[in-house]
Chains A and B, each alone.
Chain A
Amino acid sequence: KAGVTQTPRYLIKTRGQQVTLSCSPISGHRSVSWYQQTPGQGLQFLFEYFSETQRNKGNFPGRFSGRQFSNSRSEMNVSTLELGDSALYLCASSLEVLGAYEQYFGPGTRLTVT
C-alpha cells in the first residue's frame, strides 16, 4: 500500500503571500490530520478532518485553514504568510482500530518564508 504523500516537498514563499499544501492519505484512511513542526514549538496540532468534516482544530490563527475532499485528500492553506510560519508541515492519515487511531505520517512539506 502506498504511504501518505505530500506535495510539494519544499516551498519558498515571501511574507504576505499565501500557500496551499496537499496531502493524499493511505488508501482506505478517512481521517487526515495536519501538524506544524518548528524547532521552538515542536510538533503542534493544526486540524483533523474525517469524511470532509473538521472534527478538531488546534490553537492557530484563522490564517490557517484546511479542507478535505470526498476522496479523503486534504489541503491546507496559509494566507498572509509570516516569517514565523516557516516550518515542516506534516500530514497524517489514520484508521480507527477498536477505538485507537494509529496515525501514519507523510514526508512533510518544508515551507520557508522569506
Chain B
Amino acid sequence: DIQMTQSPTSLAASVGESVTITCLASEDIYGSLVWYQQKPGKSPQLLIYGATILEDGIPSRFSGSGSDTQYSLKINSLQPEDFASYYCQNGLSTPYTFGAGTKLELK
C-alpha cells in the first residue's frame, strides 16, 4: 500500500497569512495527488486533483504543486472560512490512502 505522510499535523495562522501543507508519498504516484478540505461536522470537499488542478468553484488562493513523491498545498491570504482540516489522498491506485490530516487553526 502507498503510505501518505502529511505535515504538519496542526498549524496556527492568522487571517491574511499564507500557509503550506506538505504530503509525502511512499512511492512515486505520478502526480495523482488529491487534496480535500473538511470542516467540523461536514463531509470532505474536493479542492485539488491531479496535484495542481483546482476543482470548479474553489478560490484561486488555493494552489497545489509537486511531483513524484512530494506534494504541497498552499493557501494564500487566509480567509476565516479556510480554517479547517486538510487531507491529501493517493489517487494512483487502490487502496486510496489518505494522509493523517492537517488541522489549520486561527492564531
Chains A and B bind each other: no
The interface of chain B, by Cβ under 8 A from chain A, is none
Chain A residues packing against B (C-beta within 8 Å):
none
